[in-house]
Amino acid sequence: MKLAPLFIKSWSQNPDRACLYWGGQIYTGSDLLQTLHRLMGKMVSRDFSRYQFWSFWGSNHPFGLLMPIACAALGRTWAPLSPLLRREAAINCADEMKAYLIDVDTDENWSSLWTRPGGPHQVEDVQALATAISNLCVHDAETGFALCFQTSGSSGTPKQVLLPESHILANVMTAIEEQRLTSNDRVLLLLSLSHSGGLCIQALPGLLSGALLILQSGFSIQSCVDALTNESRELMPTTTLLVPSFLRALSLSERAKQIDWSKLRYVGIGSAPLSRHMLEAFQGVPIRLLNIYGLTEAGPFLASCKLDDKTPAFMDVMPIGHVHKKFEWKQSEAGELFVRGPAARAIYSRRSNGANAPELTATFDADGWVATGDAVRSFNGLLYFTHRMDETLNVGGMKVTPSRIEAVFESMPGVRSCVVKARKHAVFGSILVAMLEIDQSILDIALIKKRELVREAKKYLSSYETPREIEFVECVPRSAIGKKLRHHL
C-alpha cells in the first residue's frame, strides 16, 4: 500500500468535496488534484529532476500538504523547515541537504502553481493523474525516506529524523482510527506543517479521512480564537490539536472566553506532560480533551486518553492512556518507555566533529525497540508520561523533575510560563532557580514579592523541590509548536 494513490483515490472519488479552507477560500478534491499534478510535473522537469530532497520554509501553505504526497509518489524526500528559522538559516539548511528550497513568500515561480478555483476539473485529467502517479510510485519504503524532519526538541542537539513511507502510512491510519476522523469533521490546523504533529496527526489524517482541513498560517491566540468563534457552521472546527503551553495561554486570554468549547468534538493535547493544574484551569468549561502521546521517531501517534473531571492524576500529571494495539511497549528499570511497531523504524542524520558527511544512526536497536527518552509510570491501569529522562536534575543528591515544579508555578495567577534549572552554588553545591514569564496585564512585576511565590509553591512541593531563587524573564523561548527551549535560557 502506497501513500500517494490513497489520496488520489479519495480525491478523485469525491472531486467536489470541500477538502481545504485556506486564505478565505474553500478548495475541493479537484483543486488539490490539479495543483498536485502541476507540482509533480515541475518536479520531474529538466530543471528540477536532479533534486532528491525538497524543502519548504515559511508559514503554513497548501504546498506543505501536497508536497509530501508528491515526494512519496516520485521517490523523493520531503524536508520541511521550521518557520522560526531565519531565511538565511533555512537556505543554509537546504544547501546542506542539497535540497531544493521552496519559499512561497518570495518565489513567484512556485507560488503561481497555486491558483484560485477556476471552474470544473475534467474527469479525464483526474484519471490521467491517477495513472501517472501509479506509474511513478517507485518509493522504496525499506531503503528510501519519505520525510525528513529537522528537530532539536528541547535538548538543543540539532538532528534530522528520516522516516520511511511505511512509517508515515502506519501513523496516518492510526491517527484516523484513534481520533475517529470522518468526512463530517472539520479539523483546525494551528500547528506548523514542519512539525510531525501538525503534518502526521492532523493534516494528512484529516485529508485522507475526507474531513475539511482548516489551515491557519499563524500559530497565535488570535488565529485560534478567530477560528473557534466562526459563525459559519460549515467552517466551525469539530477538532483541533494544541500543546499544553498554548492551552495555558488560552486560559489566560480574555478573548478565549468567547469560545464555545461545547461545539468541538474534542481538543487534542500533546508534545509534553499535561499537568493536573492545567486541567483545573478549565473547570466549569465544557472542554473535551484527548491527551495524545507520541514522538517523531515512533509515531507520532502512540497513545491517547480521553480526560474528564473523574480521570485520576498521578504525580500531578494526567494519563496518556494505553499504547496503541499496533505497538508493543516495555519499561526499563529507570522507568524509560520503549516501543516497537510498524511506525518505529526511523533514522537519525546529524553532523559531528566537523564531519563533511552526516552520520546515519538507527533510532531502534537490533530487536526493533525505540528508546523514547520519556519516563512513564503505570497507575490504576493507565500510563502516565511524567517527564523527559534527560530533564531530571540532581540537587543535593535528590532527583528533581523540572516539569512538575513548573506546573505548580504556572498554576499561579499571572504566571504565563516557567522554566526550572539547576545552578551551581558556593554553599549548597547546586540550587533550583525558577525563571518566570509574567503576564503584566495581570501582575505588575515591580509589586511581586518573590518570597510569596516561593511560599505558595511550598504548599505543593517538598522542600528539596522548592526553588531557592526566582528570576523574571521577558519571554520563555519556544519552538514552532510552543515547546519550551530550555537550553536557550
d(CA 288, CA 386): 21
> Do residue 398 and residue 383 come from a single domain?
no
pLDDT value of position 467: 92
Q: Which of 369, 389, 409 is the last residue of a domain?
A: 389
Q: What CATH number corresponds to the domain at position 46?
A: 3.40.50.980
> Do residue 400 and residue 385 come from a single domain?
no
pLDDT value of position 141: 46
Confidence of residue 410 (pLDDT cuts 50, 70, 90): confident
pLDDT value of position 129: 59
Peptide bond connecting 312 to the previous residue in cis, omega within 30 degrees of 0: no
Residue 134 lies in a domain: yes
At 1-55, the pLDDT tens digits run 688 889 988 998 898 999 999 988 999 998 998 899 889 888 988 889 899 999 9
pLDDT-wise least confident of 57-71, 108-122, 362-376 = 108-122
Of 136, 141, 176, nearest in space to 36 by CA: 136
> Do residue 341 and residue 364 come from a single domain?
yes
Of 159, 203, 165, 142, nearest in space to 73 by CA: 165
At 388-404, the pLDDT tens digits run 888 788 777 788 888 88
> Do residue 34 and residue 80 come from a single domain?
yes
Whether the Cβ atoms of residue 320 and residue 299 lie closer than 8 Å to each other: no
Residue 147 lies in a domain: no
> Do residue 215 and residue 329 come from a single domain?
yes
Q: How confident is the prediction for the chain on average, in pLDDT? A: 85
Average pLDDT over residues 416-437: 85
Q: Which of 360, 389, 418 is the last residue of a domain?
A: 389
Confidence of residue 352 (pLDDT cuts 50, 70, 90): low
d(CA 381, CA 379): 5
Confidence of residue 135 (pLDDT cuts 50, 70, 90): low
> Do residue 74 and residue 110 come from a single domain?
yes
pLDDT value of position 83: 85
> Do residue 353 and residue 425 come from a single domain?
no
Whether the Cβ atoms of residue 68 and residue 39 lie closer than 8 Å to each other: no
What is the DSSP-derived secondary structure letter of residue 235?
A: G
C-alpha cell at 284: 466549569
Residue 146 lies in a domain: no
d(CA 343, CA 296): 10
The yes-or-no verdict on residue 155 having pLDDT over 50 is no
At 244-278, the pLDDT tens digits run 878 877 877 888 888 888 889 999 998 888 888 87
Residue 40 lies in a domain: yes
Residue 216 lies in a domain: yes
464: number of Cβ within 10 Å: 12
d(CA 309, CA 289): 10
Paired strand residues for 361: 348
Q: Which of 72, 104, 139 is the last residue of a domain?
A: 139
What type of residue is 331?
A: Q
pLDDT value of position 328: 94
Whether the Cβ atoms of residue 408 and residue 460 lie closer than 8 Å to each other: yes
> Do residue 196 and residue 263 come from a single domain?
yes
Residue 254 Cα to chain centre, angstroms: 25
State which residues form the domain around 50.
1-139
> Do residue 5 and residue 94 come from a single domain?
yes
At 293-317, the pLDDT tens digits run 998 888 889 999 999 888 999 888 8
> Do residue 182 and residue 275 come from a single domain?
yes
Q: What CATH number corresponds to the domain at position 242?
A: 3.40.50.12780
For the chain, what's the residue count?
489
Residue 63 Cα to chain centre, angstroms: 18
Phi–psi pair at 21, nearest 5 degrees: -115, 120
Average pLDDT over residues 208-225: 88
> Do residue 230 and residue 364 come from a single domain?
yes
The yes-or-no verdict on residue 106 having pLDDT over 70 is yes
Residue 289 lies in a domain: yes
What's the number of CA atoms in the CB half-sphere (13 Å) around residue 396?
Answer: 12
How many domains is the chain partitioned into structurally? 3
Percent of the chain that is helix, strand, coil (3-state, to 5) = 30, 30, 40
> Do residue 237 and residue 357 come from a single domain?
yes
Residue 152 lies in a domain: no
pLDDT value of position 154: 45
Of 38, 32, 26, 39, nearest in space to 8 by CA: 32
